[in-house]
Amino acid sequence: MLIKGYPMAKLIALYVLNSYRDDISIDTLSGFISDNGWVPYLEIKGAIIDLEAAGMVAAVPRPFGQSYRITMLGEETAETFREQLRQSMRNDIDAKLAEKRDEFIALSRYFGDWDMQHDGTYKVTLSVAEGDRLIFSMMIVLPDIETAKEAVKNWRCDAPDIYAFAFGKLFSTAK
């Protein structure tokens, strides 16, 4: 008999984390699962929090915010109950994870934030992380919230080129 309801939501979260094998934010994980129609957003978010309380998922502080990863207990549980997920669903999850892997990595590697200043401008901080280490960060002041949001949005796509350019300029031998 297949697991149903809330236990199925937890199993789906464990299966995704076990297949992904990397840090991922709760919002990214919950969005991925709910956007694909497997479990509603609030239900999956609650399931992930319950899995953390049960020791199957670990919350890890990162420069971009808290991320989640599967624990050994979670891996064992996912493997024990994986047959409770239909093969077609496992295949679908694996295929969609493969499509989104680079995007998920970019979300945890390239990130930005903004703060409104007293004069009404916005201080935007754009950063690059590797694992739990911040390796590059820059701050710019922009005139309004729309421009600040656009800078943060564009950073995820443009960060590798900007980081490489800055690194190349700082350490080029032809000066």
pTM above threshold 0.85: no
Of 53, 44, 46, 54, give the one whose Cα is nearest residue 15: 44
37 and 86 housed in the same domain: yes
Average pLDDT over residues 135-153: 94
Q: Is residue 153 domain-shared with residue 163, that is, in the same domain?
A: yes
- 36 and 74 both lie in a single domain: yes
Does one domain contain both 116 and 82?
Answer: no
Domain match, 20 and 98 both: yes
* Statement: residue 174 has pLDDT above 70: no
Model confidence at 89: pLDDT above 90: yes
Q: Which of 57, 80, 108 is the last residue of a domain?
A: 108
Spatial neighbors of 20 by CB under 8 A, at least 6 apart, are 97, 101, 104
Give the end-to-end CA distance of the chain in Å, rounded to a whole number: 70
User: What is the domain extent for residue 103?
Assistant: 5-108
**Same domain, yes or no, for 9 and 91?**
yes
Together in a domain, 27 and 92: yes
Q: How many domains does the chain have?
A: 2
pLDDT tens-place string over residues 18-75: 999 888 888 899 999 999 999 999 999 999 999 999 999 999 887 667 889 999 999 9
10 Å Cβ neighbour count for 146? 10
- What's the pLDDT score for residue 173? 67
pLDDT, tens digit (0-9, with 9 covering 90-100), for 108-120: 788 889 999 999 9
Q: Report the share of the chain in percent with pLDDT over 70.
A: 95
| Residue pair 31/53 in contact by the 8 Å Cβ criterion | no
pLDDT of residue 134: 84
